[in-house]
Homo-oligomer: A and B are copies of this chain.
Amino acid sequence: MTLNKTLVQMSTDIETARNKSDFSTESMYYLLRGGPKAIEQLDYFRNLTQNDPVFNKSEVPFLNRQEQLQKALQISKRLIELMQEQDMNESQCAALIEHIDFALPVTLHFKAFMPVIKNQGTPKQVDKWYNAARKCAIIGCYAQTELSHGSNVMGLKTEAVYDQNSDEFIIHTPDITAAKWWVGGLGVACTHAVVQAQLLIGAKSFGPHLFIVPIRSPIDLEPFKGITVGDIGPKAYGGFATSDNGFVLFDKVRIPRDNMLMKFSQVTRDGKYIAPVHSKMSYGSMVKIRVDLVEEAGWRLGKAVTIAVRYCTVRRQFQAPESKLDNSNLETQVISYSSVKHRLMSLLSTAYALIVSSEAMYTKFNTLTKQLEVNNATMLPEVHATSCALKSWSTRHSADGMEECRKAMGGHGFSVFSGVSELFAIFVPSNTYEGDNFVLSQQVARFLLKQLNDMSKGKQLTSTTEYLNTLTEEPTDSFKFENPYEQILDPRIQLKVFGRRTARLVASLDKQLKSGRAWSDLNVECWAVSTAHAEYFILQEMIRKVEAVRPVAEYAKLADTLKAVSDLFCLFTLNYSSSSTFLSTFTIHPSDLDMLNGQYRTILAKVANNAIPLTDSFGFTDFELNTALGKKDGRAYEHFWDVVQKNPVNSKAENVKLRKLVLDILHRGNTLKVSKL
């Protein structure tokens, strides 16, 4: 079929929206991505991968699980070849794995197995294992979680018993509840695992330690004696189908004593345990993993928003009264429905805010790391707590936001080719991993209660908790606006309002606790406190970014645009996503809501006017978005049609099998006997 008017209109619609931009998309792209050097590396990776057919993911939805794993292994192989052809250093290898954005059987080889050996191994161990891993002469995974233990690491049941006679550890799984479970790379690919197991010497237990355990022979991948290993099967929503999350049982598997990672704790030849010199460096690495998730939350939500905004710009439905007047006969662009604008623009602002906040957290993390290196752990509690709050907030809001994007796309959003469901499927488990969000929020609350206590003793607050001071100034009043519509755009007032709300929630939690409620009864209150703390931090960092950008020549013109995005985040949080706690803490008086909501709508219109340029600014290529409905050229229907034509269900070979079954229904029991002549 030939192209028709609608398809031409789609191109026109997206170009029109693109041309409306009142800022430089390219400058914004550089700003968001972290400047020319970062873009240079991005382009380098894109050039290496995006034209190579092995990396093309568009037909993955048609493959079964085993075929998806095959594809993932082919991609893995090509990536490793590239690393060697291009002579990449370690950080480039890790960045390339990140860049390809595909759950691979070797992902955790680079992201967990190698780092853990480097950080926890003695120099000799690093020399042996890390170097073999670097060359992919072995493939490793990191085995911690068990069937019956996730969050409670201390409760792990796998045993590592030291046998002094043979100078070996005996790794053993006492029963199936201690099976290692969910381990990425273990199902099919790995030859070795770093295993968390309870160290036992004689009758004495020393808690979980790390052991390198050979799993499969690098020669033929046959599992070693005593090892029962496999893949744990499909995951929710089709997520991580290309990753071989696996299980393993150890039946008294013997490994040399040298296979215990001994940089910190050691077991000597004669079975003495040498306790670790306590290092807080390891806390630092947990912070890093959480900040990585905050950043990922921002960019992935950015992808979903890009797809949804583009599709809703070209999708038209129902005729607008105004189009009847101008005789164009066009239906209304879906993006111009106020409910769609409301949902998508707030998510756009969230994506920006998370990218900006993760940058700020990385800066904090780098300072912390330098201080920890000289044994100064002053910043640790604050950075730990804030990273918990942000991880918890961002993973939840980002995943929920992706699904909201999908819903905003209407019926076609439910096709796998929208590309949005895959984003959700791969990111939603981050609500649970690296610390369940509800568990983390308790740690945030504990820290804030401690700050409150410090404050009452006259100690200085950290930079992220200064808002607690508002408790002494305005303990209970609503914020007195003279003109809420205007004033709420003042960043100092925004922070005052956000800070006051958070401080009051902390104070209320403190009061509840002191009135005798058990800590374990206060999970929900901790959640509210953690949410408010995250929202304060995010808003503060958005405000700082706007201020930081103004004096920089190449970015100065972006300041007003960014300010609108920041204001939208502020006003959406105030009026919608968190309005209940602003009201319940008496921070905002209901009588001010009309005006605040009026300003929300003003800012919403401003941001919506730049919706396409603001999403273009993330700078995703069509290859990266992996969508039929949200490509840059806006020709959603055409691309959707094209990809559906590749559906194997429609192929001759498959169709014959299916037809036979349908005919079994139509013709059932109707076989006529051939009568005898």
Contact = CB atoms under 8 A, between A and B. Distances in A.
Interface of A: 1-4, 6-7, 61-67, 69-70, 73-74, 76-77, 80-81, 105-106, 136-139, 145, 147-152, 155, 174-177, 179, 182, 187-189, 191, 218, 220-221, 230-239, 244, 247, 249, 315-319, 331, 337-340, 342, 403, 406-407, 410-411, 413-418, 420-421, 424-425, 428-429, 431-433, 436, 438, 520-524, 527, 576, 579-580, 583-586, 590, 593, 601, 637-638, 640-641, 643-645, 647-650, 654-655, 657-659, 661-666, 668
Q: Which of A64, A145, A155 has the most CB of B within 10 A?
A: A64
Contacts of A411: 145, 150, 182, 429, 432-433
28 contacts: A63-B64, A64-B67, A69-B658, A73-B665, A74-B661, A77-B664, A136-B665, A138-B666, A147-B640, A147-B641, A150-B317, A152-B319, A152-B331, A155-B317, A176-B641, A187-B650, A189-B665, A230-B645, A235-B414, A237-B424, A247-B644, A337-B520, A337-B523, A339-B524, A414-B432, A579-B584, A580-B583, A585-B590
Contacts of A657: 66, 70
B647 A231 contact: yes
A431 B405 CA distance: 13
A73 B658 contact: yes
Contact of A593 (B149, B244, B429, B584): B584
B649 A69 contact: yes
Contacts of A428: 403, 414
A541 B466 CA distance: 48
A403 B407 CA distance: 15
> Which 4 interchain pairs have the tightest Cβ spacing?
A64-B64, A236-B421, A339-B523, A73-B661
B188 A665 contact: no
Given A80-B665, A523-B342, A665-B106, A658 B235 contact: no
Contact of A410 (B230, B432, B650): B432
A176 B233 CA distance: 39
Contact of A152 (B139, B318, B650): B318
A584 B145 CA distance: 45
A589 to B, nearest CB: 10
A179 B77 CA distance: 41
A82 to B, nearest CB: 12
B175 A80 contact: no
Contacts of A666: 136-139, 191, 218
A176 B232 contact: no
Given A233-B644, A406-B236, A637 B139 contact: no
A1 B436 CA distance: 30
Given A319-B155, A338-B523, A665-B139, A6 B76 contact: no
A87 to B, nearest CB: 14
Contact of A66 (B148, B155, B416, B649): B649
Contacts of A187: 649-650
Contacts of A585: 590
Contacts of A315: 148
A232 B189 contact: no
Contact of A6 (B63, B175, B407): B175
A590 B579 contact: no
A410 B425 contact: no
A524 B239 CA distance: 32
A342 B73 contact: no
Nearest to A420: B236
B433 A233 contact: no
Q: Which of A77, A238, A342 has the most CB of B within 10 A?
A: A238
A401 to B, nearest CB: 13
A232 B152 contact: no
A381 to B, nearest CB: 21
A368 B61 CA distance: 45
B77 A668 contact: yes
Contacts of A416: 233-236
A418 B368 CA distance: 40
Contacts of A659: 188, 220-221
Contacts of A668: 77, 80-81, 136
A378 B366 CA distance: 69
Contacts of A414: 235-236, 239, 428-429, 432
